[in-house]
Amino acid sequence: MSTDKDLLSVQQARDLVDAAHKAQGEIVRFDQAKIDRICEAMAKAALREAARLGAMAVEETGYGVPDDKREKNRFAAEDVWNYFRGLRTVGVVSESKDVVEIASPRGVVAAIIPSTNPTSTAIFKVLIAIKSRNAIVLSPHPSAARCINESVRVMREAGVKEGLPADAIGCMTTATIEGTEALMKHKQTAVILATGGIGLVRAAYSSGKPAFGVGPGNVPVFIEGSADVPKAVQDILTGKTFDNGTICASEQAVVCDAPVESAVREQFKAQGAYFLSAAEADQLGKVVATPQRSLNPGVVGRSVEVIAKLAGLNVPPGTRCLMAEVGGVGREFPLSMEKLSPILAFYVTDGLARGAERCYEILRYGGMGHTAGVHTRSREAAIRFGSEMPASRITVNTPTTHGAIGFSTALPPSMTLGCGSWGGNVTSDNVSPLHLMDIKRVAFETRPVKSSRPAVSSSTVAASARPPMPQRAPARAATTQPVAASGQGKINREEIAAIVDRFLAGREPQQAQSTQAPARPIVEAEAGSMYRAPAEATRPTERSGGNGGSSERRTAAAPAPASANGHKTVDFVSEDDVRRAILKGEKIYITAKTIITPAARDLADPAEIFAKS
């Protein structure tokens, strides 16, 4: 029978994920307005049914208080939705001049739901999954499968009326360990939200999928000497007794500063706490912990009356919480563990430093990374305390139960609290729709990167593709002043201009008659370039007739004899020669005698085209 149930659970997980994956393909095309309409409808439906679903949870699991379950359902349906209602989860979600952020859903979310907070966690996870355009499949704790499936049904029906594909929200009716593992490892599962025991969370992390697992919360709270003692005690009892302590952010141990010990004890007694004797504490410890020093499920979420009866204790009528002085932290002290019930361990230390040390010990024994609390009138003391805690949330002057989930603080409201690297979790955040989206970032250049090959504009490319236009200019009389060599002394620009004019005047007939494309300059390609100059290149010389004779003048298209180091050099460079070199990503080798037109130099210098041989 067990094997048949496991097989059924595995097959159900596979079918639900396959269907959810197809539905997610539709959701991804929804615009922001449609997503928000669907979530609004689901939130309202869950809010209407909050009391009924809360009562179902207590009836099915035996954990907690119906009215407190109703309030947790309300918080998940109303406070969470109101906080994230305006969050953009479709298209561009953030934009600046330099970076544009675009949201993308993860895919199918595998959601593991605990028995301690079944309906509220289901409501919460469905809302944040659909808000971020993901489909979701829930695996309920077997002892809470009925109330979790009913919560899902209520929300699904409301979403379908607004256009949500029915298969976008699935929930297993037969949930076994094998089925849950199949859900987490399915090839179409994109991300896991795991809330439950440490074994299940470890299974989520070992599934090979991205997982947001949350660890246990053995939460200490320190009452510092300057605290408002009556309010501190009131807050602690409010948090500890809410839903019989089933929220894992609820207080598990009180660490009292010695100067206010007497006042703290009096307030606890006055507000309904009962301090156990040493013998009574031993009796209680044997019920709370199993022989393996794990928590006895029989006390989780139970009332004081039920727990006292289990331990054989007689407590005053109306007792709200059982308190036990504990001599240390660890396996030898069973009441120092996380108890998830209206039971508090009590310690006394002297000063902030020692109080922080004790709280650190408590967190290390099953609560690393979760939550710690402090009551103090000193902001500085609160920050000093927080800096010492290996906890993701340090609440100040408020119940840790309500403060950690964002009910009584400005933290994002959440029913899934990450414990960071301290607790072996991927995040220390209160999990939200933000964690179920991938963000693509379109980033524009803000700091140009220098390149050895300058960019060539389209106008430059077009100009270099045209043959040079002949130009006529009246020859200028040469001066008797010597011409300064390139790079040596002061340049006589008039003499250079005269030489250029004479050269171009003699060059025109040959260029006019030529039907060939402009010859490629003899240059040496840079290291790694796709361009390579031939080892032995010969080019025709330009001839200009004058006085019945002929003269030869080498240009960038005709190499001068190789210099000593083997580079091909030119004795004249025009603007067109530079353009061609830029286009090909090459250099032009010159000597001290090379003549360079002013326009060619102006174009070449910023691009570092010239190289001296």
Q: In what order do the strands lie in the sheet with 108-113?
A: 169-171, 135-140, 108-113, 189-195, 211-214
Q: Which residues 6+ apart lie within 8 Å of 154 measured at CB?
A: 45, 46, 49, 53
CA 519 from chain centre, in angstroms, equals 57
Got the DSSP string for 184-205?
HH-TTEEEEEEES-HHHHHHHH
**Euclidean distance between CA atoms 409 and 514, whole angstroms:** 85
d(CA 372, CA 461): 68
Number of CB atoms found within 10 A of residue 1's CB: 5
Cα(537)–Cα(558) distance, rounded to whole angstroms? 9
> Token match 């999954």: residue?
129
Answer for the pair 73, 45: CB distance below 8 angstroms, yes or no.
Answer: no
What tokens appear for 610 in the block? 């010239």
**What is the rounded distance in angstroms from the CA atom of residue 298 to the CA atom of residue 282?**
17
Is the distance from CB of 558 to CB of 541 less than 8 angstroms? yes
CA 573/CA 588 separation, integer angstroms:
9
Bridge partners of residue 552, in order along the sequence: 543
User: How far is Cα 432 from Cα 421, in angstroms, rounded to an integer?
Assistant: 18
What whole-number distance in Å separates Cα of residue 369 and Cα of residue 363? Answer: 8
**One-letter identity of residue 526:** E
Active-site residue, selected from the candidate residues 171, 248, 359, 419? 248
CA distance 203 to 196: 11
* Annotation says 147 is catalytic: no
Concatenating the DSSP letter of every residue in 48-89 gives HTHHHHHHHHHHHH--S-HHHHHHHHHIIIIIHHHHHTT---
Query: What amino acid positions are annotated as catalytic residues?
Result: 248
